[in-house]
Each structure stands twice: as structure tokens, then as C-alpha cells.
Chains A and B, each alone.
Chain A
Amino acid sequence: MDHASRQQHPIGLYLKVWALLFVLSTMSYLVDYFHVQGLLRWGLIVTFMLMKAGLIVAVFMHLRWERPALVCAILLPPLCVLVLVALMVLEGDYIFLTRGAFFGVLP
């Protein structure tokens, strides 16, 4: 099979994913609209975000049908950002506490 025929998928699949993305976006908007707060809010927002991202990458960007060599090369490197996020959470907390301790601005 050549490349073009490997990336031929029924239009119906795209329409279903499209509808699903609409539903997920509406649901994350409703989280804000109904003022859901606390852990439930972050949990729902992140869940909907990851589901939408997964659908776009897997179906619209055809990653589901690519060979594992390419899939790994694409999906693994961005995970390094999580290390940066972890470091910056610690750093941000430290700056926040330092500002509180030295400038007396904590609420």
C-alpha cells in the first residue's frame, strides 16, 4: 500500500470526531458557566483537554495509523516539558513564599 491509500479514512469518522470535539468543548465551557469550583473543576478541565487533544492528534493528524517509530519520535519528546513544569511549580511556590516573607504582601 502506498502512503496515500494508507491515509484514506471514511468521512464519517471525521464527522464523528468533529461532533465529539464539539460536545467536549461545550462541556468544558459549561464547567465555567455553572461555576464548578475546586478539585472537580481542575479535574474536569484537564480531562476534557486531554480527550480533545488525543482525538485531534490520533484521528485528525492521522497518528493512529502511523508506524510506531514515528509515533514514539513525536509523542515522547514533548513529555520533557513535564519536567520543566515540575521544576517551575517548585520555583513558583518558592518565589511566592519569598515575596510573602520579605515584602509582607501575603493576603
Chain B
Amino acid sequence: MDSTVAPVSSTAPAGGWRGLVADWSGDRQAFAVPWGKAMMWIFLISDTFVFGSFLTGYMTVRIATTEPWPNPSEVFALTIGGQTLPLILIAIMTFVLITSSGTMAMAVNCAYRHDRVRCAALLLATALLGASFVGMQAFEWSKLIAEGVRPWGNPMGAAQFGASFFMITGFHGLHVSVGVIYLLTIAAHVLAGRYEARGEGGGKYGNVEIAGLYWHFVDLVWVFIFALFYLW
């Protein structure tokens, strides 16, 4: 944590945009974490409410519909080598995302040990796993669209299935895609040595941990989607 205190001017506080920045960056803190980390947590809490509302909306339309809900176990089954496996693609996607969370956690560890090369390699591995997750999701979407699933109806049952599916997985996929770009940026910064210590304060490798918080959150949301949408 940067312990330098912002200089307090003896005159009246600045107004306008300068005053707004001064107020938000003032040394009045309740949380003993770096500023960026607290801000990431606030963003993640707001995102929790977004996904919480989506999942609650999905629950509501599923309770309220009088038509039978399509069985996800069958809808998302794949036939591999003549054998039909229920939900197999979703299970693989889950394992890929969990693996990416593991590599991310180790990237944060390497970052704090100033092991630049290993940290960047783990970040790139995380981004690669995330990209393959999005790829599999694109495959899943095109398969369902080819089968006639639309946001306003589908051949298997309740019309609300399509709306819930595209809304929830689409928003999650968007988060993963943004996360991949975010991780690539952070990896480039790590490789370029931009987080190395400059003067006192000891470097800015906390940025890797903050990116990690975002990435683990994306994994966390998938845990809930996997259980409540695909398995329920």
C-alpha cells in the first residue's frame, strides 16, 4: 500500500473536476488494500447483482411457464464416436475454466515473486484457456441456433428457454472475452517490466492480483450458471 499522504492545501478545497478527483483520491480509507483492488471489488459486487438478477429472472420465467422446460441434459448432449454423452461440452468448458483459474492463481504468485517470464507465461496460458472457452461457447451457440432455438421460441418446449440461455451465457461469454483482452494487456505489461519497483513502494505487481480477481469472478459466475441453468 502506498503510504504517502496527499498534500493537503491550506486554502479552500478545489472545485469542479479537480475537486472531484481530489475527494475520491483523498486519504480517507476504510479498507487496508490498494485503491485499485478496492475498486475492482466494488465493480465485482455490482456485477454480482447483474448476474444475480439474470439468474433470478431465469428462475421466475421457469417457474411461471406452463409449457415443459427443455431438458438441458438432452439439449446439450453431444454424440462422440456413436455414443451420446449428456452435457459433455458443458463439462469440458467447466474444466477448462477451472484450469484457467488455477493458472491465474499461480500467475499472481509468480508476479509477487517478481518472476516475470513465468508470470507472463501463466497469464498467456490463462488467456488461451479463456479463448478456447469462448470458442466452445460459440460452437454451442451455433449448434443450438441450427436446431432452431431462438430468443422467442424453440422446438423443444417453453419459449423462455432461448431468451434465458442467450442472455445469461451471452453476458458471461462477453465477460470471458473482455477478460482475455485484459489478461493479454497485463501479460504484455509484465513482460515489458512495467510493474517493476520504481523508487520506494516496491513495484505494482498488485495489478496482476487485481486482474486475477476479475478472472476468478468470471469462473465463479460460471459455477452458478453451470449448477442453476445446466444441471437444474
Contacts and interface: CB of A to CB of B under 8 A. Distances in A.
Nearest to B51: A81
B91 A29 contact: yes
B34 A3 contact: yes
A105 B32 contact: no
B60 A88 contact: yes
Contacts of A25: 91, 94-95, 98, 226
A29 B230 CA distance: 10
Interface residues of B, number: 61
Nearest to A91: B60
A83 B159 CA distance: 27
B161 to A, nearest CB: 15
Describe B's contact surface by its main secondary structure: helix
Interface string B94-132: 110011011011101100110000000000000000000
Name the residue among B213, B231, B232 with the largest chain A CB count within 10 angstroms.
Answer: B231
Nearest to A52: B223
Name the residue among A3, A14, A107 with the largest chain B CB count within 10 angstroms.
Answer: A3
B192 interface: no
Contact of B64 (A48, A66, A67, A99): A99
Nearest to A89: B63
